[in-house]
Amino acid sequence: MNEAAKILQEYKGPKLRIMEVCGTHTHEIFKLGIRGLLSPDIELISGPGCPVCVTAADYIDEACYLAREKNCIITTFGDLVKVPGQKTSVSKERADGASVNIVYSPQDAALMAEKNPDREVVFLSVGFETTTPSDVLAVKYAMDKGIKNFSILTANKTMPKAYEAMASATDCYLYPGHVHAITGTKDCYDMLAKGTSGVIAGFTGPELLTALAVCVKKSQEGEPFLVNCYPRVVKDEGSPAAIKLVDEFMEPCDALWRGIGDIPMSGVKLRSKYSEFDARVKFDIPDMREEYKTPCRCGDVLQGKIKSYECPLFGKACTPDHPVGACMVSDEGACSAYYMYGGLI
Amino acid sequence: MDERITLNHGSGGHKTSELIADIFKKNLDNEYFTADDAAVMPAPEGRIVMSTDGFIVSPWEFPGGNIGKLSVCGTVNDIACMGARPLYLTCSYVIEEGFAVADLVRIAEAMGETARKAGVKIVAGDTKVAGKGQVDGLFITTAGVGVIENDVSLSGSYAKPGDSIIVTGDVGRHGCAILLARDEYGIEADVTSDCAPLADAALALIKAVPETHVIRDSTRGGVGTVLYEICDQSNVGIEIVSDSVPVDPAVKGVTGLLGLEPLYLACEGRFVVIVPSEFEEKAMEILRSVESTKDSVVIGKVVSDHQGKVVMKTPVGGMTFLPPPGKELLPRIC
């Protein structure tokens, strides 16, 4: 057995809570069976880093409103289609005749607008620092080409304020490598200054095992720490080009995280000078926010308060075929990962 | 001959006769190929096996084959999985009005060539033409008859704990080739469908190892779906070593990019073979001696634990479930 796996298996000591923030980390950890290799004194908490899982119900309602009332062509990444809104979902609207197209990149959505000049095309822009630059590029493309029938419905989120909001739920963050490939390491150092430990982790089996083993070893030293275990991709300065691009088009805003609530300044939206590409402004979408009542406990799962299988709906009323909560929709959602891979851990 | 198929070609009149003579008879002819209402063949000795399969693949042509080749391989392989020698096929076409005759010729040529390779005779057929837009290109249904010449009995319900599981080549290539041929993702990769008739390999195997428990061709749902079916049918669990599952590097790249599991992508020229472990070596020797199964690999074993589940040993030494099949990955794959 390799050294890292041995450290993880043989750890004995105070309970160590490690929150993997990124949905891809959650998925890979399950897929590689890493949980089964851990000492019982190590607890992995699946945090809020799956973009689909933290997309608020009223956002889905806004998308459905655009499809139904404004006859827009909705373009989206596939996972979002099945996420339940307050009353409906994009997939239900599609079954009722709405135009919904799954795309693999925001650019494809802009191209669709170019090819369908007589229809309004809206891209559902959700995601973190990793995907926001490509959303912005689609807007830039539309702007440069003079495409007037393209806009994006933003629910883009940023991690730093979420790190602060969730810090008490974890002893150590497994920071999302690809987010910090864009933003650099500054936000992690800011958290370190506030006493929160973390390691920046890659996504392969050896990278994940190494990062987790570093969490364990450094925790035993007793001081807050930050280690970049993904230096081949994450540089301190991040990607200046991506940062500049996003900053030019987007500005910080408050954001509602499904199951967690409002986190001030944890999102970005298009700056007002680009509002012709902002679907919310362009179509004057009415306020859809209302108190969202659901027995689903995704919020508690995302905050590490319960495990997926402790939710009364898990595997019964809520399955990947009939998801009640967003965490069951995406492959990167904690509940979906537990449902598909769980049982051995 | 016309350039395009018209409704007249399906009328049963002289245009239909022309189509049969110039395209089907020309490419598929043999001593039993009939112009009558049904073909008449001598009854073989042994038990008769029958199967049928419909083919609606889109696009109809792809790297490594076309719908004609696929329609022969599909039914031939289904029959071979029962340990039978495939003998005769029938084929039924539903062709869209306007379909290019030259393309139909290519499809018939592929059917004829594949049938000869598989040692099976196409003895009867039917042609219908549907109006423009009523079908997409053409659909083919084949039905086949084979004969089990010995007392071999194979079934997905015969897997026993301890048995070895063999896959007869790299997985997911057909599904990946179709996905790329549709050109929906802007990805270019050199992936050829594994579509091939496998009867010779199956017959060689059961002759040398009549103790073989299961032969199953992994088509639409890929090898993963077959493994889950066998778990269910035999009330066993299955353990595979994920690193041992052969995946073509290009397929690995494409599926990695799109978040797809190669074990759930379709194959059209791969068997899952389950034999008692003491016959593993012999079975591998035989399979590797036949061209279509020369890259056979042992990927795991049947176990009595976790019944109904497929468990994978991961590269980092962890154990995880192969997520059960469910999602429709790609419609119209075969």
The DSSP annotation for B267-296 comes to -SS-EEEEE-GGGHHHHHHHHHHSGGGTT-
Among A239, A258, A283, the domain-final residue is A283
Q: Do B320 and A5 lie within an 8 Å CB cutoff?
A: no
pLDDT tens readout for residues B252-267? 999 988 888 999 999 9
Residues A56 and A201 in one domain: yes
- Cβ within 8 Å, pair A340-B324: yes
> What is d(CA B259, CA B310) in angstroms, rounded to the nearest whole number?
20
> Band of the pLDDT at B329, cuts 50, 70, 90?
low
Q: Considering the domain boundaries, does residue A291 fall inside one?
A: no
Residues A238 and A306 in one domain: no
Distance CA(A291)–CA(A288), nearest Å, equals: 10
Q: Is the pLDDT of residue A146 over 90?
A: yes
Task: Answer yes or no: do A32 and B318 touch at CB < 8 A.
Answer: yes
Flag if A1 and B324 touch (Cβ within 8 Å): no
**Binning pLDDT at 50, 70 and 90, where does residue A131 land?**
very high
**HSE value, Cβ hemisphere, 13 Å, CA-based, for A21:** 28
Same domain, A148 and A235: yes
- The pLDDT confidence band at residue A343, using thresholds 50, 70 and 90, is low
Question: Mind telling me how many Å the CA of A134 is from chain B's nearest CA?
Answer: 16
Q: Which of B121, B148, B175 is the last residue of a domain?
A: B148
Handedness of CA A131, A90, A22, A264 (dihedral sign): positive
A63, A199, A308 from A167: Cα distances, Å: 32, 14, 20
Contact A341 B320 (CB under 8 A): yes
Average pLDDT of chain B, as a whole number: 93
Same domain (yes/no): B134, B192? no
Contacts of B324 in chain A (CB under 8 A): 340
What total number of domains does chain B contain? Answer: 2
Q: Which residues in A66-101 are b (16+ Cβ under 10 Å) and which e?
A: bbeeeebbbbbbebbbbbbbbebbbeebbeeebbbe
Q: Does B157 fall in a domain?
A: no
Residue A342 is assigned to a structural domain of this protein: no
If you ran DSSP here, which 8-state letter would residue B213 be given?
A: -
Report if residue B154 sits inside a domain: no
B172 in the same domain as B99:
no
A159 backbone dihedrals φ, ψ, rounded to 5°: -80, -35
Q: Which residue of B has its CA nearest to A209?
A: B316
DSSP string for residues in B72-129? HHHHHHHHHTTTPEEEEEEEEEEEETT-BHHHHHHHHHHHHHHHHHHT-EEEEEEEEE
Q: Which two tokens stand for residue B139?
A: 């659909």
Percent of chain B with pLDDT over 70: 99
pTM, full prediction: 0.85
Residue pair A174/A201 in contact by the 8 Å Cβ criterion: yes
Considering the domain boundaries, does residue A290 fall inside one?
no
Q: What part of B 240-269 touches A (C-beta under 8 Å)?
A: 258-259
With tokens 């239909």, the residue in question is B16
Question: Using CA atoms, how far apart are residues B3 and B52, in angstroms rounded to an integer?
Answer: 31
Domain at B68, CATH number: 3.30.1330.10
Q: Is residue A122 part of a domain?
A: yes
**A34 belongs to a structural domain:** no
* Closest approach of A101 to chain B, Cα-based (Å): 12
* Whether B306 and B171 share a structural domain: yes
In a domain, A7, yes or no: no
Are A114 and A124 contacting, i.e. CB atoms less than 8 angstroms apart? no
Nearest to B320 among A5, A30, A206 (CB): A30
Query: How far is A334 from chain B, CA to nearest CA, in Å?
Result: 14
Q: Do B321 and A32 touch (CB under 8 A)?
A: no
Give the residue with greater pLDDT, A223 vs B15: A223
Q: Are residues B65 and B211 in the same domain?
A: no
Within a domain: B188: yes
Residue B330 pLDDT level (bands cut at 50, 70, 90)? low
Residue A100: its pLDDT value, please? 92
Mean of per-residue pLDDT scores for chain A? 91
Please check whether residues B274 and B181 belong to one and the same domain.
yes
Residues A63 and A166 in one domain: yes
> B117, B148, B179: which is the final residue of a domain?
B148
The CATH number of residue B246's host domain is 3.90.650.10
User: Does the pLDDT at position A345 exceed 70?
Assistant: no
Q: Is the pLDDT of residue A344 over 70?
A: no
CATH classification of the domain holding A115: 3.40.50.11740
Is B330 domain-assigned? no
Say what the pLDDT of residue B269 is. Answer: 96
The answer to whether the Cα torsion of A324, A325, A328, A329 is positive or negative is positive
Instruction: Check B318 against A33: CB less than 8 A apart.
Output: yes
Residues B126 and B169 grouped into a single domain: no
Which one is predicted more confidently, B121 or B330?
Answer: B121
**Chain A residues within an 8 Å CB radius of B258:** 104
Domain that holds residue B284: 164-321
Chain A partners of B306 at a C-beta cutoff of 8 Å? 343-344
Do A316 and A250 sit in the same domain of this protein?
no
In a domain, A288, yes or no: no
How sure is the predictor about B14, in pLDDT bands with cuts at 50, 70 and 90? confident
Is the residue at B153 inside a domain? no
Q: Are residues A278 and A302 in the same domain?
A: no
Q: What is the pLDDT of residue A40?
A: 94
Most B CBs within 10 Å, among A2, A91, A344, A345, to test the B interface: A344
Tell me, yes or no, whether B174 and B294 share the same domain: yes
| End-to-end CA, chain B | 29
pLDDT in tens, B273-318: 999 999 999 999 999 999 999 999 999 999 999 999 999 999 999 9
H-type alpha helices, chain B: 14-19, 26-28, 67-80, 101-118, 173-181, 199-208, 222-234, 249-258, 280-289
Mean pLDDT for B202-210 is 96
Has residue A2 been placed in a domain? no
Query: Residue B31 to residues A23, B19, B37, B104, B124: CA-CA distances in angstroms?
Result: 62, 19, 16, 23, 11
Which of A312-326, B32-46, B58-72, B257-271 bottoms out in mean pLDDT, i.e. has the lowest?
A312-326
Closest CA to A4 of A142, A209, A269: A209
**Sign of the dihedral through C-alpha A152, A153, A159, A161:** positive
From B103, B122, B148, give the residue that closes a domain: B148
Q: Which residues, other chains included, contact B163 with Cβ-Cβ below 8 Å and sequence gap of 6+?
A: B213, B274, B275, B276, B277, B301, B302
- The answer to whether position B334 is within a domain reads no
- What does the alpha-carbon distance between residue B262 and residue B274 come to, in Å, rounded to a whole number? 20
Given this model, what pLDDT does residue A240 score? Answer: 97
Tokens of B62: 């792809």
Do B176 and B302 lie in a common domain?
yes
In this predicted structure, the answer to whether residue B247 has a pLDDT above a threshold of 90 is yes
| Token digits of residue A66 | 């655009």
**Token pair recorded at residue A144:** 């440069």
Cβ–Cβ under 8 Å, residues B169 and B293: yes
Domain identity same for B246 and B109: no
Over residues B184-210, the mean pLDDT reads 93
The Cα–Cα gap between A199 and A215 comes to: 7
The share of chain B scoring above pLDDT 90, in percent, equals: 81
Q: How many CB atoms lie within 10 A of CB A215?
A: 27
Same domain flag for B176 and B314:
yes
A23 to chain B, minimum CA–CA distance in Å?
13
B328 pLDDT above the threshold of 70 = no
Partner A contacted by B133 (CB < 8 A): no
Query: Is the same domain home to B41 and B143?
Result: yes
A310: containing domain: 298-337
Q: Are residues A164 and A209 in the same domain?
A: yes
**Is B331 touching A (CB cutoff 8 A)?**
no
ipTM above 0.85, yes or no: no
- How many domains are contained in chain A? 2
pLDDT at B183 over 90: no
Contact A205 B314 (CB under 8 A): yes
Instruction: Determine whether the interchain pair B319/A33 forms a contact, defined as Cβ–Cβ distance below 8 Å.
Output: yes
Please check whether residues B26 and B144 belong to one and the same domain: yes
Query: Same domain for A100 and A230?
Result: yes
Smallest Cβ–Cβ distance between B321 and the set A37, A209, A341 belongs to: A341
Residue numbers in A near B317 (CB within 8 A): 1, 5, 33, 37
Residue B287 lies in a domain: yes
pLDDT in tens, A249-276: 999 999 998 878 889 999 999 999 999 9
